[in-house]
Structure 1
Amino acid sequence: MFDRLEITVLPPGPRFPAQLRVWVNGEDVVEHAVGPGGRGPLAAEALPVGLPGPLRATSEPRRVRLGEPECTGGCCGFLSVVVQRVGNVVQWSGWEGPRPEDRPVEFDFGAEEYDAEVARAEADHGWRFPA
């Protein structure tokens, strides 16, 4: 059985531009791992227009930053994970984060479903504002 990924974008707020939130199996991974008030990566960086985003999985493992605590990642550390495609599975493993006791476990996603969710998030530009 594979884990279920959902990618959302929080609209811009008083302190931060639009940011990415990642849900796995119905749980907000960022909030769980960095605490309330933490933030995800900037949506514009995580979901770039016309380029493959950092969440795209390839056979080459890549460390992806997914969040930081309210005090900033420079203070307490960033939440990051290694994303890699292994056959028909996308693995998230090797978590690093500011609260070691709250780091997520390894997640395995069906590659087709994973690719579809990342493509859906990359194609949804509703959170962008005109310059």
Structure 2
Amino acid sequence: MRKNSIKNTRVNTEVLRELSNIIRNEIKDPRIHPMTSVMAVEVAPDLKTCKAYISVLGNQEAQEETMVGLKSAESYVRRQLARNLNLRNTPEIRFLLDQSIEYGVHMSKLIDEVAKKDASGTEIEE
């Protein structure tokens, strides 16, 4: 199975949906922040491993605590995933912190600051 095959794309979508449901509804760990979402999932073509990119809306401490909580719940999440999905192999899940949204917000703020300085500061002479 190629990396971008239709089957792999479908498996990625199903795993993403199930992981989101499991994290949102079934894990009761208080370390996991309520505003945690699964941004993307990459299942290996052999269905042995899975990288789940997690985004946490909160400060650095909340992000770290959420990642610790998810790492401790890996076996439970894998068991629930095996129960809910009919796959030949249930992938071993690795949770990775995705900070792309936070980076985008930071860059947007920087652009707004530069635009504000440019508008209120000196005008561009031609």
Fold in common (TM above 0.5): no
Relative to the length of structure 1, the TM-score reads: 0.30
Q: Which structure has greater helix proportion? A: 2
Q: Which has the larger radius of gyration?
A: 2
